[in-house]
Each structure stands twice: as C-alpha cells, then as structure tokens.
Chains A and B, each alone.
Chain A
C-alpha cells in the first residue's frame, strides 16, 4: 500500500518531473487564485487562459514545439488582452468583465484560426490539455522559475494587493500603489497561466489556480489562512492526481483538476465556515 504511494516516483523519472512541476504550480497558482476570487474576478482566470492561446500558437508556428517561443508568445498575448481590457474598462462605458470577454473571445478565435489553418488539431489539443508527463528540463526550469518569481513578487505587493481587493478607493487615496499593484498582479496571473499550460494545458492551469482558492473560503476567515488552505489542498490534489493517473492509467492533467474539484465539493459540504453539513447539526447559541 505504502509502496503504491512512492514507487511510481522512485521508478520513473517522468513521474518525478511531473511531481516537481505540479508542486511548483501548486505553490504559486492557488495564492493568485485567492486574490482573483477576492477581487470577484474568478472568471478572469478562465478568460485569460483562453487569451494566451493565439500567442502560444504563433510561437508554435514560428518555432515549432519550442517552449520559450510558445511561452513568450502566450505571455505577450495574455498581457496584451489583460491590459487592453483594463484600459477600456477605465473609460467606464463597460465594466472590466465585459471588456475582458470581448478581448479574450477575439483572442481565442484568432488562436483556433491560426492553429486550424497552419497546424493539425492534434497540436491544438496538446496545447489545450498539456502534457504533465512529458516535462523536459527546460519546462521544469521555466515552471519553477515562474513559481519563484511569482511568490517573491506576491510577498512584496501583498499589503497593497489586499487593500486593492478590499477597498481600492482607499488605496488610491493614500498612495500611488493602486495602478502598479493592479498591473503587477495581472502580469502574475498571465505568468502563472503560462507556467500552468506547460504542465497541465491552458484550461487545466485555470483549474489548479481557482478550485483550491474557492474551496479555501469555506475553511478560513483570513486572506493568509485562505492562501495556506489553497496551497495545501493543491499540493495534495496534485499528488493524488498523479498517483491515480499512474495506477489507473487515466489522463493526468484532468485527474489533478478533478482531485481539486473533489476537495471543493467536500469543502462545500464540510467546510468549517459555511459548509452545508454544519447547517444540519443542531447548534447551541451564546447568551450574548
């Protein structure tokens, strides 16, 4: 039984690489997701995941299956969509989510168009669903590098970022940090999606970013606590997903995300802060 837990990693280097990649992503993506949910921008991660597609596709068309080219392309496309959406939203005619929807749909359609015209659909599926079991050294360095940079940056802008999510007007009135914080945060979102799509694919990268984050709200009443729960559950889900996909020969990326999904459903039912099952337990109340 214990064997089944470590034997795959001891035996196969591709499993070890997959584990390292997943740990790196699990450390950095969930905190970003926590801030996305707190900003009420949960769906933005999803939109951005789609938005990086044409960039990755252009990188793929220019340089073939080259990791730096596809990552750089994805990063540029994602950032362009995020910034464009933000700028349009500042005009106050439409809200940021509407403006983002407009841009990411253009971006996604353009990406699918490019890949369909120039490549085969197999390649597209590869980009969309990732290849966690085929991480080479290059990809590992990229993913771990992005994770390191993200965590350090997040630590640096933690306070203004919490304030920007909680009371953006107040932050604007006391300091100049509002706009830089927002921009840096957008860059982090895109960077993490680029890291995630190497390992899990664009769609799955959003899953590991957001599912642990929304689940965490059921367990903690503080931002720090939410981040801890989100990272912990992402790490556990990664491990469970990798092992399950190995032992039952099922696709890895979706299995990891499904493990995150199971934790979310469990949190909804049993979470200490508002879990559904606690409502069934008759509870005493205090006098005052």
Chain B
C-alpha cells in the first residue's frame, strides 16, 4: 500500500504532459491512491468540457502544454466551477472587533486566487480560519468535503528555530508525513520523492546542509519543497515572497503555476500587484469586507485599488453592535 501512495506522490512531481494524461483518461486514474482521487473526480468532470473545448482546436488536443492550459482555465472556473471553498456570511473577529466582515463567496476547485489588501484587511485571518485556527463569529466556511489533511498551509510567521540541528533533506522529508507517519521508514521511492522536490526548487546538492546555514531565499525554497511533498489539493500561502529575491520569486511562482496546472486550488496572500497581475487569474480584494472579487484584470482597476488604499486599520473603540448578520439570517 505504501508503495502505491509513494508512487502517487512521485506522479505529482511529474511533468505537465503526464498530468494531462491523468486528467483525460480516467482509466489511468483508477490506479491512483485515494488521496489523489479528487484529481480523478475533477478530471472526469472536466473531461466532457475538455472534449468540447478541444473541438475548437480540432486535431491539436494531443498538444501537452496547450491541453494543460485549456484544462487549467476550465478548472479555474471559466467553464466548470466545482466549488472547493465557500464562505457564507463569514465574520471573524479579535476581541469582538471584526477583521473579516460578512464575507460571502466561492472559490472553485483548481482556482488560482490572490488575496490582496492593506495591512489589517483580514487576509491572514481569512487563511487562519480556513485551516481551522480561528472559529467564525458568524457565518460558516464550507470546505466541500475537504478535511484538514487536504490543506497545506504556509503561514506568514513561522515559528521555526533556524538553529535547530536538522538537515535540508530531513526538513523536506517531513512533507511526507501522511505517507510515513510516526513510525514508517523512508524507502528508496520516498527518498526519490524528496530528491525530486529538492530538484524542483533547485536545491539539489544541499541535502545534507544544516538549515541554519541556508540563506532566507533558500530556506523559503525548502518550505516550498515540503509543501510540494504534502501533495494537498488546497494550498494556502501567506505572503510567500517576503524578503525573497527576484530569481527565487520566479522559481517559486513556477511551482505555483505547476500546482495550478495539476488542478490544485492555490490561494496566496500577496502585496506585489504586478506579480498578481502576471500570475494569478482571480483576485479577491479585501478590506475587512470584500471590495471586489473576480477576474484579476477587472478587480485590480485604479478605482478599486484606491478604495483598498483608503482602508484604515484603526478600530473604533465605540463601535456599535453589528446587526447585519442577524438581519440577514432572519430575512
């Protein structure tokens, strides 16, 4: 059984073309492990759409990258939208003051969503609520059957002691926790997976280096390699590119695009508007409440960005009790 699971993880490290095969030929999917069955489901769902889409580019549906692109846009909600996460009138607060206020909306499976907003706009808080770290005051989050296990989360502030005596290899191998658990050993296949993940983040050769000897950018690559091995269907990144140079951002956004191509739902909190425009198809502009949510190009217009900048983080100490939630529920 372990062999099968490990193989599925290795598949995840495979190239785009292989991914495409998995989507369009459900027969292959039967052999994958339970954990990647969601890929199968979304694959079957989009299969018919895919057929229709390829009808327009008749004869070219065998082209790997093109098929991948089509598939990606299909999953990201342009054509099909199987919901991955839904917020229903969600309010999150610290000390009764709302940080995320009456947010309603749906993130579809395979979406590539950027969350943008000023400091204090509730971006990180929203992610924390998604991983269950924070309970909603009102409203709810529907993960549509995804469990905690299906979510990989890279928090903004990581409580990691960089002087900890551990090697790069061991740190990345932690991403395999669900396969190896408390007592499972690392067999040759899982070692290969770790090596593959290190290669994907361009850290091959540094396996045995202590993490304390890495630069900030290299350490961020290590965390991405670990995320890669987690093989989760929903990936949450909270400001993943803080204090990281352009080359590293390039490489890591490459990984994000790959996750997107593989049909995973990727949600990233970002401050760099250009980066969002360049790589993210969908944007949620947050200022406690949803300012705008949708296609990146239409959301990030000058008017919206001005409204976002005008958002003030200050909390009114004399704020009255919000009646909106109640009103909506009785309506």
State the Cβ distance, B184 to closest chain A Cβ, in Å. 9
Contacts of A40 in B (CB 8 A): 161
Contacts of A38 in B (CB 8 A): 161, 164-165
B160 at the interface (CB under 8 A from A): yes
In the complex, A175→B148 CA distance in Å? Answer: 9
| B177 engages A166 (CB within 8 Å) | no
| A166 engages B160 (CB within 8 Å) | yes
Please, what's the 1-or-0 string for A139-174, where 1 marks a CB less than 8 Å from any CB in chain B? 000000000000000001101101101111110011
Q: How many residues of B contact A (CB 8 A)?
A: 25
For B212, the closest partner residue in chain A by CB is A221
B246 at the interface (CB under 8 A from A): no
In the complex, A163→B177 CA distance in Å? Answer: 10
For A177, the closest partner residue in chain B by CB is B182
Most interface-central of B148, B165, B166 (chain A CB within 10 A): B165
| B153 engages A162 (CB within 8 Å) | no
Contacts of B183 in A (CB 8 A): 156, 159
Contacts of A167 in B (CB 8 A): 158-160, 174
| A220 engages B165 (CB within 8 Å) | yes
State the Cβ distance, B53 to closest chain A Cβ, in Å. 36
Please, what's the 1-or-0 string for A213-237, where 1 marks a CB less than 8 Å from any CB in chain B? 0000100111101100000000000
Interface residues of A in 33-48 (CB under 8 A from B): 38, 40
In the complex, A165→B163 CA distance in Å? Answer: 12
For A216, the closest partner residue in chain B by CB is B165
| A165 engages B182 (CB within 8 Å) | no
B47 at the interface (CB under 8 A from A): no
For A173, the closest partner residue in chain B by CB is B153
In the complex, number of A-B residue pairs with CB atoms less than 8 Å apart: 56
Please, what's the 1-or-0 string for B174-211, where 1 marks a CB less than 8 Å from any CB in chain A? 10011001110000000000000000000000000010
Contacts of B230 in A (CB 8 A): 174
Most interface-central of A157, A169, A220 (chain B CB within 10 A): A169
| B165 engages A168 (CB within 8 Å) | no
Contacts of A156 in B (CB 8 A): 182-183
Contacts of A222 in B (CB 8 A): 165-167
| B161 engages A166 (CB within 8 Å) | yes
B65 at the interface (CB under 8 A from A): no
| A226 engages B148 (CB within 8 Å) | no
Contacts of A217 in B (CB 8 A): 165
In the complex, A98→B210 CA distance in Å? Answer: 31
For B149, the closest partner residue in chain A by CB is A174
In the complex, A206→B170 CA distance in Å? Answer: 30
B216 at the interface (CB under 8 A from A): no
In the complex, A130→B160 CA distance in Å? Answer: 38
Interface residues of A in 193-221 (CB under 8 A from B): 217, 220-221
B155 at the interface (CB under 8 A from A): yes
| A157 engages B166 (CB within 8 Å) | no
B131 at the interface (CB under 8 A from A): yes
| B177 engages A174 (CB within 8 Å) | yes
Interface residues of B in 247-272 (CB under 8 A from A): none
Please, what's the 1-or-0 string for B116-127, where 1 marks a CB less than 8 Å from any CB in chain A? 000000000000
Contacts of B155 in A (CB 8 A): 169
Contacts of B182 in A (CB 8 A): 156-157, 159-160, 175, 177
A166 with B149: in contact, given A157-B182, A160-B182 (CB under 8 Å)?
A: no
Contacts of A160 in B (CB 8 A): 182
For B226, the closest partner residue in chain A by CB is A170
In the complex, A234→B178 CA distance in Å? Answer: 36
For A162, the closest partner residue in chain B by CB is B166
For A166, the closest partner residue in chain B by CB is B164
| B166 engages A223 (CB within 8 Å) | yes
Contacts of A225 in B (CB 8 A): 165
Please, what's the 1-or-0 string for A29-64, where 1 marks a CB less than 8 Å from any CB in chain B? 000000000101000000000000000000000000
Most interface-central of B148, B151, B182, B210 (chain A CB within 10 A): B182
State the Cβ distance, A215 to closest chain B Cβ, in Å. 14
Residues in chain A within 8 A of chain B (CB atoms): 38, 40, 156-157, 159-160, 162-163, 165-170, 173-175, 177, 217, 220-223, 225-226
What are 25 A-B residue pairs whose CB atoms fall within 8 Å in the complex? A38-B164, A159-B182, A159-B183, A160-B182, A162-B166, A163-B174, A163-B177, A166-B161, A167-B158, A167-B159, A167-B160, A167-B174, A169-B159, A170-B226, A173-B148, A173-B152, A174-B230, A175-B177, A175-B178, A217-B165, A220-B165, A221-B165, A221-B167, A221-B210, A222-B167
Question: Told that A162-B166, A173-B148 touch, could you supply 14 new A-B pairs with CB distance under 8 A?
Answer: A38-B161, A38-B165, A159-B182, A165-B161, A168-B159, A169-B159, A173-B131, A173-B152, A173-B153, A174-B177, A174-B230, A175-B177, A177-B182, A220-B165
